[in-house]
Structure 1
Amino acid sequence: MRFNARRALVAAVLAGLVLSGTTATGAQASSSPRVAGTSAVTPTESSWRPKLAPGEHHACSTAKKGQFHCLARWQPVAGGSGTLSTAAVKLKGLTPEDIRKAYKLPTKGGKGQVVGIVVAYDNPKIEADLNVYRKKFKLGTCTTASKCFRKVDQRGGKKYPVGDQGWGMEAALDTQAVSATCRSCRILLVEADSPTGEDIGAAVNTAVRLGADVVSNSYGMVEFNGIETLNKKYYTHPKVPLIASSGDAGFQDPEFPASSPRVWSIGATDLNYSAKKKAYTEKAASFSGSNCSAWFAKPSWQKDKNCAGRTSADISAAGDGAGGAGFLVYDSYLPKSSRGWIGASGTSVSAPLVAGMIGLAGNAAKVASPSYPYKHKTGLKDVIGGSNAFSADCGGDYLCTAVKGYDGPTGLGSPRGLKSL
């Protein structure tokens, strides 16, 4: 891997700064050294933000230093924005049928499985919007009354936090993406009081305590000195797969929790249907996060050569597609001028899709460790083609380009059926 001289100089300077400071969240700084051979992170508030296409919006654009940010992006859909009805309008974007066909998923399975979803803040419209989506795509209802859907605060109660339209969009996306891959799974939404490491972490532990078989986490924070403390306290659940978005800024600073060797790191692909080939095509999404952890050592089950630490991603799934329209989501909690059907993109899409697939497979406890797909590759299709759009410092290396075999943007590949899940 080739780093340019400017980046190498910045890394050298930052190494001393990162090693000497306390964490941005106030946690006790770790005495553990950085992983030898890795470059220090650049702990800037804007480092996680990808460039936006015309008309796109960040769902969580106000994250402060030391807070988790959600990774969803959205754009209006022609004929959908501002539409509060379920009229059979032809909406452009990835649908549950696209996901099922592309990834060869069975229509049945997952009954009794609980998919936990962790977000910050409240979305008061979440259950109603989920069922607009499910009705549109004939997935059946999923309500509190039927015990298919449950919403709790970070303590497991009903004292929901204040509402937030940005994180609310993330919650709408996550619940609907899980529904797209596992219509029979139950959904447990845990809303943290704030996006700090302690509050979000507490919500993860609550999701597990309340019976989640798999937990989806579509958020991230640039690694910092002391990240091991959060990892041990909140992301250590040996029998529950923790799924996390790898990030949306291409070859980037490592993002936690995806950088944890206890968490499945999910990259993103660009999924489209080719009428000429009569098949779905897939390549690395230009924004898909790939990185080399500066704090977590390389686990024994990862064998790539150019990263001394834990490498992201492990596997991937659709994070964009339908010619750039993205994944269809229904959200009536957005500002009035934008509410209705929108197109979502980012690793915030791919993570809950994979979480739903694991629920569909019904073997969550057996696949809790992210080492599982490395030992069971038969259910994955290698994604070849495409690269991170923000990877000038990578020089075409596998860490930023989807090549044959393992690579950073797409990991081992994307699912085909459930054999690797």
Structure 2
Amino acid sequence: MVAGPASATGTRTDGVNTSQAQSLRTALRNGTLARTAGKTDVCSVHRLRCQAEMLTVSKKSKTPIRQSLGTTVGPMTMAPPIGYGAKELQKAYGLTNASSRTGTIVVIGAGAYPTLESDLAIYRSAYHLPACTKANGCFRQMNYLGGAPYKPAKGGDMQYGEEELAVETALDVDMASAACPKCRIISMQVPVIDGFYGTTKQTHNAILHFATGVRTAKKLGADAVSISYGYPTDKYSDKGKIATLMRQPGMAIVSSSGDDGFMFEEGQWPQSLRTVTSAGGTSLYVDKSAKRGYREVAWNGAGSGCTDDLGPAVGQPKSVSKACYGHRAASDISAVADPYTGVAVYDSYAPYTGMPYGFIVVGGTSASSPFLAGLYARAPRNKSIIGPNTVYAAPSSAFHDVTIGTNFGVGMCKAMGYRNNLCDSAVGWDGPTGRGTPAGLKAFKH
């Protein structure tokens, strides 16, 4: 395990001032923010398993614990927020006039987060979403077995982990809220140690905890589950007991495709499973000349690849799985994930540094996974759902087809002996974005 630096507390000196905010908001939406801003991998740089990336004020910014080391440049924090908000995401994906049922979304993540309910309230208030609290029955926190949530960790490295992992959890509940404002949200926790890289035994324990959480979610009557974490695949993760726990007909299970681009045949669990919807990612731009007012290209970090020990995902046609010689091909469907066109997230949990972020800009396929899970829960309930079957059964009108962009380099997949559409956007299905991004709710109820 990697321990964090020495703990420190103090006043934040980084962030964005009011005079900069409007120009940064505009730059994020028109695709020019990458010229000046930086980004940092919230998770894997520190040997954590989540799939989130945070925008920083400059390309010289350090990692998310940098302020404890005295640096004055850090995450792009600002109130009011800079990133895409709930109303904009609803407009971009055809949800403004879509029906909305009171479904239940479970997001599973690692570690305690005692300020999550109040943080969620601030996010929802900023976008005029209805209150979602424990008191009104909308919000719950629990452990993966259904019991009381975990207490905050003690000890520097565990507190350090929880502070970083809280960014992931805040992203999950905020994106679930944006996708389905009327849905109930359950934040389900596995032990904080499960969020760290570790031995094979530790990894298998973490996978078992997540899979058990999925079964608990089904027992609670959830409509959809989101897992924004990635673990290496092997016989233990892909077959036997784990595969059985991860097969829950009538409940959608969505997971991040990864943030490292094309992964060859080294797909990560659980998005590699046949019964899980793999969430790819795009860059989202405001474009007044486009019919819907937005355009998208494949995000260069969106995960894609093959799971060579498993057959096609449930419902995945041969025309798609042939890209992986008949095996499971990822991803299935996408939403915004590029941190340079990232979403607004509110996170105040800072047990390690004592310096809360507030509103930040976050991306990664950790953003697309809970957003898509929210759409599954928002759509009319479909007991026949298993894996991405409804995504592949839906008509082409259910998607915004993404035909520009690559996650490996144009033509590189072919040069490596694979089909180009595993890496390069194309008409119809492609690896980085699947069938495309949602145009309303058709893909989740067909």
Structure 1 counterpart of 2:295: 281
With over 3 angstroms needed to count, the CA separation of the structure-2 counterparts of 1:369 and 1:201, relative to structure 1, is closer
Per the TM alignment, residue 389 of structure 1 is displaced from its structure 2 partner at its CA by: 4.3
Structure richer in strand, relative to its length: 1
Deviations, residues 332-364 of structure 1 (Å, cap 9, x unaligned): 114445611111111100011111111111324
With over 3 angstroms needed to count, the CA separation of the structure-2 counterparts of 1:118 and 1:69, relative to structure 1, is same
Partner of 1:74, secondary structure, is strand
Matches within 5 A, 1:23-38: none
Query: 1:326 is aligned with what amino acid?
Result: G
Q: Do residues 349 (structure 1) and 362 (structure 2) align?
A: no
Preserved CA contact (<8 Å) 1:142 1:148: yes
Q: Within 2, Cα distance between the matches of 1:108 and 1:95? A: 17
Q: Within 1, Cα distance between the matches of 2:400 and 2:103? A: 25
Q: Within 2, Cα distance between the matches of 1:311 and 1:115? A: 25
With over 3 angstroms needed to count, the CA separation of the structure-2 counterparts of 1:138 and 1:326, relative to structure 1, is same
With over 3 angstroms needed to count, the CA separation of the structure-2 counterparts of 1:277 and 1:380, relative to structure 1, is closer
Matches within 5 A, 1:157-236: 157-160=147-150, 162-163=152-153, 164-193=162-191, 194-195=193-194, 196-227=206-237, 228-229=239-240, 231-236=242-247
Query: 1:191 is aligned with what amino acid?
Result: Q
Q: Of residues 306, 311, 317 in structure 2, which corresponds to 1:292?
A: 306
With over 3 angstroms needed to count, the CA separation of the structure-2 counterparts of 1:391 and 1:221, relative to structure 1, is farther
Partner of 2:251, secondary structure, is coil
Query: 2:284 is aligned with what amino acid?
Result: L
Per the TM alignment, residue 325 of structure 1 is displaced from its structure 2 partner at its CA by: 4.3
Q: Within 1, Cα distance between the matches of 2:307 and 2:77? A: 42
Query: 2:323 is aligned with what amino acid?
Result: N
Could you tell me which runs of 5 or more consecutive residues in structure 2 were left unpaired when the two chains were aligned: 1-35, 59-73, 154-161, 195-205
Query: 2:371 is aligned with what amino acid?
Result: L
Partner of 2:230, secondary structure, is strand
Structure 2 counterpart of 1:58: 41
With over 3 angstroms needed to count, the CA separation of the structure-2 counterparts of 1:107 and 1:132, relative to structure 1, is farther
Query: 1:112 is aligned with what amino acid?
Result: T
Structure 1 counterpart of 2:440: 417
Partner of 2:296, secondary structure, is strand
Preserved CA contact (<8 Å) 2:272 2:278: yes
Query: 1:115 is aligned with what amino acid?
Result: I
Could you tell me which runs of 5 or more consecutive residues in structure 1 were left unpaired when the two chains were aligned: 1-52
Query: 2:431 is aligned with what amino acid?
Result: G
Deviations, residues 283-314 of structure 1 (Å, cap 9, x unaligned): 11110000100221225633222312100001
Q: Within 2, Cα distance between the matches of 1:332 and 1:123? A: 10
Q: Within 2, Cα distance between the matches of 1:244 and 1:82? A: 27
Matches within 5 A, 1:205-354: 205-227=215-237, 228-229=239-240, 231-252=242-263, 253-277=266-290, 279-299=293-313, 301-303=316-318, 304=320, 305-308=322-325, 309-320=327-338, 324-334=340-350, 335-337=353-355, 339-354=357-372
Q: Within 1, Cα distance between the matches of 2:208 and 2:230? A: 13
RMSD: 2.5
Query: 1:331 is aligned with what amino acid?
Result: D
Structure 1 counterpart of 2:92: 102
How many percent identity over aligned positions? 33
Structure richer in helix, relative to its length: 2
TM score, norm. by length of structure 2: 0.75
Q: Within 2, Cα distance between the matches of 1:223 and 1:288? A: 18
Matches within 5 A, 1:371-410: 371-377=389-395, 378-389=397-408, 394-395=413-414, 397-410=420-433
Q: Within 2, Cα distance between the matches of 1:54 and 1:255? A: 29
Deviations, residues 210-246 of structure 1 (Å, cap 9, x unaligned): 2211111111112123221353242010111101111
Deviations, residues 246-303 of structure 1 (Å, cap 9, x unaligned): 1111101211111111111110011110245471001111100001002212256332
Preserved CA contact (<8 Å) 1:251 1:390: no
Per the TM alignment, residue 410 of structure 1 is displaced from its structure 2 partner at its CA by: 0.6
Structure 1 counterpart of 2:386: 368
Preserved CA contact (<8 Å) 2:236 2:242: no
Partner of 2:422, secondary structure, is coil
Deviations, residues 115-173 of structure 1 (Å, cap 9, x unaligned): 11111111111111101000001002110000000000112111515451122111100
Structure 2 counterpart of 1:4: none
Q: Within 1, Cα distance between the matches of 2:278 and 2:44? A: 22
| Stretch deviating more after TM superposition (259-268 or 375-384) | 375-384
Per the TM alignment, residue 60 of structure 1 is displaced from its structure 2 partner at its CA by: 2.3
Partner of 2:404, secondary structure, is coil
With over 3 angstroms needed to count, the CA separation of the structure-2 counterparts of 1:233 and 1:100, relative to structure 1, is same
Deviations, residues 182-231 of structure 1 (Å, cap 9, x unaligned): 10000011101242112222222222212211111111112123221353
Preserved CA contact (<8 Å) 2:285 2:296: yes
Query: 1:138 is aligned with what amino acid?
Result: H
Q: Within 1, Cα distance between the matches of 2:424 and 2:179? A: 27
Partner of 2:421, secondary structure, is coil
Query: 1:75 is aligned with what amino acid?
Result: L
